[in-house]
Amino acid sequence: MTQPYMRVEKLVKKFGPFTALNEVDLEVYPGEVHALLGDNGAGKSTLIKILSGVHQQTKGDIYIEGKKQNFRSPREASAAGIGTVYQDLAINQLMSVTRNFFMGREMTTMFGHMKMDEMNQIAHDEMLKIGIDFSDPTQAVGTMSGGQRQTLAIARAIYFGAKVLILDEPTSALGQKQQMEVLKTIKRVRSRGDIAIIFITHNEIHSKLVADRYTFLALGQVIGSGSKAEIESQDIRRLMAGGAEMKDLEQELANL
């Protein structure tokens, strides 16, 4: 068994009197997709905001390659190799693919002169590696499809050193075909073998298609976790509903 790249132990997050996360454990391994599942309000976004330095935990610890490390800012998290792709993607529509790719981290020579040709080439090559052959990196992002934008944001995070790639509901706002494109992208990143992916979704089928490991959250607590082999597909459905039996839910609905 390889060592987890990142390990989270007994993480607690309180917003005043409200306990958003209660003693959450999580392990992510390089080359694996770890699906983080749970109902609305379960605490998924809160967990990844702590992992990416946006929030600080109330209690508990984060270990990177066995070393204890707690993030006080997004900058510290990204320096430790945590790359987060939020739902809004942090992409600017009016700007070109290349300008977005290098936004805030431009390659420059003296006086801030950008190495435009080199940057165009890198943006093109990095996107190609995970699945999009974009012939014109000077094209504005506004003209790209939702799936292509996801790919851009993912390629950017990887190029700038992400070892843990966190994707917050990357498929939720997309049509069928583009959802599949994003899943393919996830698979391609996975097959590199050196990057751990945390994949948040509400979609049971999507998680089954790409995940190697699962963690289920309900009301701020882990109610089930394990590798693909350990978790039966029946379990997935039950755990996603926060531990309730499907039969019970059906009954409840019927009674209305």
Partner 1 sequence: MSDRSEADRLKRETLFERLVRRPEIGSFIVMIFIIAALTLASDGRAFNALGTKNNIAIIAQFGIIATGAALLMIAGEFDLSIGSMIGFAGMSMAMMLKWGLPFGLGEATPFSAFIITLAMTLTLGWIIGTIVVRSGLSSFIVTLGFLFFLRGTTEVSFRLINQSTQISGLPDYKETSWFADIMGGEVFGWFYDLWFALGGNINRKGDQWVTGFDARFMWWIILSLLAYYVLSRTQLGNWIYATGDNKDSARANGVPVNKVKIGLFMFTAFCATLFAACQVFDTNTSDAAKGNLKELEAIAIAVVGGTLMTGGFGSAIGVVFGAVTVGLVANAVFFIPWIDGSWFRVFVGTVLLAAVFANERIRKRITGGI
Please report whether residue 171 would count as binding Mg ion according to CB under 5 A: no
The gap between the terminal CA atoms of the chain, to the nearest Å, is 49
Q: From ligand ATP, Mg ion, partner 1, none, which one binds at residue 20 (CB under 5 to 8 Å depending on kind)? A: ligand ATP
> Smallest distance from the beta carbon of 66 to ligand ATP, in angstroms?
27
> Smallest distance from the beta carbon of 149 to ligand ATP, in angstroms?
20
> Smallest distance from the beta carbon of 183 to partner 1, in angstroms?
16
Cα radius of gyration rounded to whole Å, the chain: 19
CA-wise closest residue to 214 among 190, 234, 239: 239
Q: From ligand ATP, partner 1, Mg ion, none, which one binds at residue 88 (CB under 5 to 8 Å depending on kind)? A: partner 1
Q: From partner 1, Mg ion, ligand ATP, none, which one binds at residue 63 (CB under 5 to 8 Å depending on kind)? A: none
For Mg ion (CB under 5 A), the number of binding residues is 1
In this structure, the strands spanning 164-168 and 196-200 are parallel
Q: From partner 1, ligand ATP, Mg ion, none, which one binds at residue 38 (CB under 5 to 8 Å depending on kind)? A: ligand ATP
Closer CB to partner 1, 37 or 144, in the complex: 144
- Nearest 5 degrees, angle CA 36-CA 38-CA 43? 85
In this structure, the strands spanning 213-218 and 33-38 are parallel
Pair 224, 214: CB distance under 8 Å: yes
Query: CA-CA distance, 146 to 136, in Å (whole number)?
Result: 17
Query: CA-CA distance, 178 to 109, in Å (whole number)?
Result: 38
Q: Cα torsion at 99, 103, 106, 112 (round to 10°)?
A: 90
Which residues contact ligand ATP (rule: CB under 6 A)?
15, 18, 20, 38, 40-46
| Of the residues 5, 13, 28, 45, which one makes contact with Mg ion according to CB under 5 A | 45
> Smallest distance from the beta carbon of 88 to partner 1, in angstroms?
7
Which residues contact partner 1 (rule: CB under 8 A)?
74-75, 86, 88-95, 99, 102-106, 108, 111-114, 116, 132-136, 139-140, 142-143, 148
Query: CA-CA distance, 244 to 182, in Å (whole number)?
Result: 30
Summarize as ranges the residues that interact with Mg ion (CB under 5 A): 45
